[in-house]
Amino acid sequence: MADVEPKGVVLLDVLMNTFGHRCRIALAEKGVEYEFRVENLRDKSPLLLKSNPVHKRIPVLIHDGKPVCESPIIVQYIDEAWPHRAPLLPADPYARAQARFWADFVDKKFNECGSRLCDLKGEEQAAAKEEFIGILKLLEGELGDKKYFGGDAFGFVDIVLVPSVSWFYSYENCAGFRMEEAAPKLVAWGKRCMERESVAKTLSDPHKVYEFVDRLRKRSGVE
């Protein structure tokens, strides 16, 4: 089934993938029906290898036979390909640039440092925790007192960041701190986002995420 030439809209992904969750939330927000094809990352399908020959990774969105790769690009494509619903990116060019900047910050700073929190121990982890809390403060500064990062409307930066809410519990348990104490505004934002059906139906259970992280830590000798 996975190798059958796709028609309509198809998402190649795995169930517990924060990058793929972005795409699924965006599709849900736009009301787009699609086929979800679960990939076996140990034995990648010919369709995945054909659709993403450069990186050979998920997620990949295939729309009428044409593949789109990399989750931030996929979310922007979804916004432009289905303009009949509320936009995910602002219309103003400067505001769009700012949204792209903070989405890039999430990938290059937040996600990268969050991974190190779970991969390290001792002094190295302590340094990563200090850096991570600084990143949280920067995100809180951008969020301010707004409902969402773009204001009253749930949008691009929210979609890029919100899958990480499932990882808050893992960050706390791996690095020994409380997200609510370090970044109360960000935690409150995450709870608001979870009230949206598109988010609540997509995100992984935080405890299952931690079980997965704990297995990896034990396998790598961190624990």
Residues 110-163 have pLDDT tens digits of 999 999 999 999 999 999 999 999 999 999 999 999 999 999 999 999 999 999
What is the per-residue pLDDT for 4?
A: 60
Q: What percent of the chain has pLDDT over 70?
A: 97
Cα 120 from Cα 110, distance rounded (Å)? 16
Q: Which residues pair with 35 in a beta bridge?
A: 10
* Helices 71-81/93-105 angle, 10° precision: 150
Mean pLDDT of 91-105: 97
Residue 98: alpha-carbon gap to chain centroid: 18
Q: In this structure, what token pair is assigned to residue 193?
A: 């986002």
- φ, ψ for residue 203, nearest 5 deg: -65, 150
Q: Could you tell me the two tokens for 127?
A: 């340094």
pLDDT digits (tens, 9 = 90+) for 154-205: 999 999 999 999 999 999 999 999 999 999 999 999 999 999 999 999 999 9
- Token digits of residue 17: 């993938």
Predicted pLDDT at 45:
97
Tell me where in the chain the CATH 3.40.30.10 domain(s) lie: 9-81
- For the 9-81 domain, the top CATH level (class) is alpha beta
Question: What six digits make up the tokens of 135?
Answer: 């990143």
In angstroms, the first-to-last Cα distance of the chain is 39
Q: Return the bridge partners of 219, or none.
A: none
Q: Which residue shows structure tokens 């996929």?
A: 74
* Radius of gyration from C-alpha coordinates of the chain: 18
How confident is the model at residue 1, as a pLDDT? 44
The DSSP result for 132-173, as a single string, is: HHHHHHHHHHHHTT-SBTTBSS--HHHHHHGGGGGGHHHHHH
Max CA distance (Å), the chain:
51
pLDDT at 14: 97
The CATH class given to the 93-220 domain equals: mainly alpha
Q: What pLDDT shows up at residue 219?
A: 87
Query: Please, where in the chain does CATH 1.20.1050.10 lie?
Result: 93-220
**pTM of the predicted protein model:** 0.94
